[in-house]
Chain A
C-alpha cells in the first residue's frame, strides 16, 4: 500500500490522525504529515478508514 496526500487541499480536520495516528500526523498548522508512505499491513484498514473519513478527500491510496 502506498499513500499520497494532497497537502494543498488539506483543511486540518485531523480526521486522519484520529483514525490512524501511527501513520498520520499534523504539522503546527494542522496540515497532514505522513509518518510513512508505506504503512505496515496492520495499519492498512485504519488507513483506508482515514482516507474515507477525510472531509477534503486529500488522501489517496494505491493498493
Chain B
C-alpha cells in the first residue's frame, strides 16, 4: 500500500466530470479530511455528451443525463459550495470566491473546464451555444419541423447537432472553413465518409466557408437572428443559429497566480500545475510521457480518468505519471465513430478492417501505432485499443 499524505482540506474548483471524479478518487485512495467542491452548476450538473444527442432530440428527458447517481455523490461526502472562484493564492494556499469567501487548502484541483467560443454579435435571440443543460433545453425549444438551422462550425459538436436537428425535421446548413471537416481528427477516409453520411440525410455542409456576420431583424419580441452572411458573400437565412466554433479554457480566475495558462493549465506528467495545485479535465494541459508532448483533451472519458489520476496523485507519496490512451466517440444518425490515440499529421493510414459496414483505420508514424479509428466497429476496435495502450507506454 502506498504511503499516504494526511490532508485536512482539498478544494476542487469545478464540480463537473473531472471534479467529481477527483473527489471520488481522493476518498478511494484514503483521504479522510474535508473535500470542498466549488462549482456553479451544482444544481444542473450533467453528463454533456447527451446534450447534443438524446437530450437535444427529446429522446431523453433532461434528468437522465447524469454524471453520477445521487447516492454515489453523497458517498463521497464532499461539501458542495455553490459559487465561482476568482483568485488562487498558491503560496498562501487559499482560494478566493466571487462571493468573498476565502478557503484555505492543503491541495487544490483546478477543474473549471472550458466555455464555448462566441461570435461577435452572439447575444442575439435565436443564436445559441451548447455546453450546459440549459443551453440544450433552450436549443431544443427552437428546433423542430420546418425550422431552418444554420450551424457555424463543422466540428464534432456542430455536426452532432446537425444530425439531431435533421432528425427533428429541421432544414440544416453547416458552414465550416476547413476543406474537409474533422480530417485532422479522424483521418481523411472517415472524415469524408461522415460528410457523405450527412449529405445522405439532407444536411448541407458548406466547406471552406465561415460566418462573416450574424444578421438580425426586428421582431415584436425584440431583435432576433435572421441569418448568417458567409465569408463567400452570400446570406443563409436562419430561424436558429448554433455557434460551435470551439472552446476557451476557463483560466481567467488564475490570473496572477503564477500558473501557466497559455492554453489551459500547464501541468507536469503527474497533472501537477504548481505547489499543491493540480488540474484535471478539459482545462488541463499536461505532459503525456507516452506521446512525448503536452496535450489538452476535451474528451469525456479523459475527464473521468484524469480526475481519478489526480485524486490518487494528491494522496499518494508515489504518484504515477498520467499516460492514458486518449479516447472519444461521436454519434451521428446510426453511425458510431470512435477514436483511440491521436492522428498525427503525415501519419501513415491503413485500413485494418472493412466489412459488414464496419471500418477500422490505423495511424502510424515512424512505424509506431499512434491512433485507430472505428466506424460502427466498437467491439472490433478493442484489440486495436489494447495494442495502442501497449504502444503508448513510455519507453
CA separation between A14 and B338, bound complex, in Å? 10
Q: Do A57 and B68 form a contact, CB below 8 Å, given A13-B327, A30-B336, A52-B24?
A: yes
- Residues 151-169 of B, flagged 1 when their CB comes within 8 A of A and 0 if not, give 0000000000000000000
Q: Residues of B contacting A9 with CB < 8 Å? A: 64
- Closest CB-CB distance, B109 to chain A, in whole Å? 17
Q: Which of B67, B301, B379 contacts A15 (CB 8 A)?
A: B301
CA separation between A13 and B338, bound complex, in Å? 8
- Residues 1-39 of A, flagged 1 when their CB comes within 8 A of B and 0 if not, give 000000001011111011000000011111100000000
Q: Residues of B contacting A31 with CB < 8 Å? A: 378
Whether B304 and A14, one on each chain, are in contact in the complex, defined by CB atoms closer than 8 angstroms, is no
Q: Residues of A contacting B301 with CB < 8 Å? A: 13, 15, 53, 55
10 pairs, CB–CB < 8 Å, chain A vs chain B:
A11-B331, A12-B336, A12-B378, A13-B327, A18-B385, A30-B336, A30-B378, A53-B305, A55-B17, A56-B47
Whether A14 and B69, one on each chain, are in contact in the complex, defined by CB atoms closer than 8 angstroms, is no
Asked if B136 lies at the interface with its beta carbon under 8 angstroms from chain A, I say: no
Q: Which A residues have a C-beta under 8 Å from some C-beta of B?
A: 9, 11-15, 17-18, 26-31, 52-53, 55-57, 60
Whether A14 and B64, one on each chain, are in contact in the complex, defined by CB atoms closer than 8 angstroms, is no
Q: Residues of A contacting B66 with CB < 8 Å? A: 57
Asked if B253 lies at the interface with its beta carbon under 8 angstroms from chain A, I say: no
Q: How many residues of B contact A (CB 8 A)?
A: 30
Whether A18 and B386, one on each chain, are in contact in the complex, defined by CB atoms closer than 8 angstroms, is yes
CA separation between A11 and B328, bound complex, in Å? 11
CA separation between A18 and B331, bound complex, in Å? 21
Name which residue of chain A comes closest to B307, CB basis: A52
Whether A57 and B47, one on each chain, are in contact in the complex, defined by CB atoms closer than 8 angstroms, is yes
Q: Residues of A contacting B69 with CB < 8 Å? A: 57, 60
CA separation between A55 and B68, bound complex, in Å? 9
- Closest CB-CB distance, A54 to chain B, in whole Å? 8
Q: Residues of A contacting B308 with CB < 8 Å? A: 52-53
Whether B379 and A30, one on each chain, are in contact in the complex, defined by CB atoms closer than 8 angstroms, is yes
Q: Residues of A contacting B389 with CB < 8 Å? A: 18
Whether A53 and B304, one on each chain, are in contact in the complex, defined by CB atoms closer than 8 angstroms, is yes
Q: Residues of B contacting A18 with CB < 8 Å? A: 382, 385-386, 389
Q: Which of B72, B304, B379, B385 contacts A55 (CB 8 A)?
A: B304
CA separation between A53 and B64, bound complex, in Å? 19
Interface-central residue, A14, A53, A57, by most chain B CB under 10 Å:
A14
Name which residue of chain B comes closest to A18, CB basis: B385
- Closest CB-CB distance, B385 to chain A, in whole Å? 6
Taking A12-B329, A28-B379, A30-B379 as given, write out 18 further A-B residue pairs in contact, using a Cβ cutoff of 8 Å, ordered by the A residue number. A12-B338, A14-B378, A14-B379, A14-B385, A17-B382, A26-B378, A26-B379, A26-B382, A30-B336, A52-B25, A52-B28, A52-B304, A52-B308, A55-B49, A55-B300, A55-B304, A56-B47, A60-B69
Interface-central residue, B25, B338, B378, by most chain A CB under 10 Å:
B378
Asked if B381 lies at the interface with its beta carbon under 8 angstroms from chain A, I say: yes
Q: Residues of B contacting A52 with CB < 8 Å? A: 21, 24-25, 28, 304, 308
- Closest CB-CB distance, A26 to chain B, in whole Å? 4
Q: Residues of B contacting A29 with CB < 8 Å? A: 336, 378-379
Interface-central residue, A13, A27, A29, by most chain B CB under 10 Å:
A13
Q: Residues of A contacting B28 with CB < 8 Å? A: 52
- Residues 57-74 of B, flagged 1 when their CB comes within 8 A of A and 0 if not, give 000000010111100100
Q: Residues of B contacting A28 with CB < 8 Å? A: 379
CA separation between A52 and B64, bound complex, in Å? 18
Q: Residues of B contacting A11 with CB < 8 Å? A: 49, 329, 331
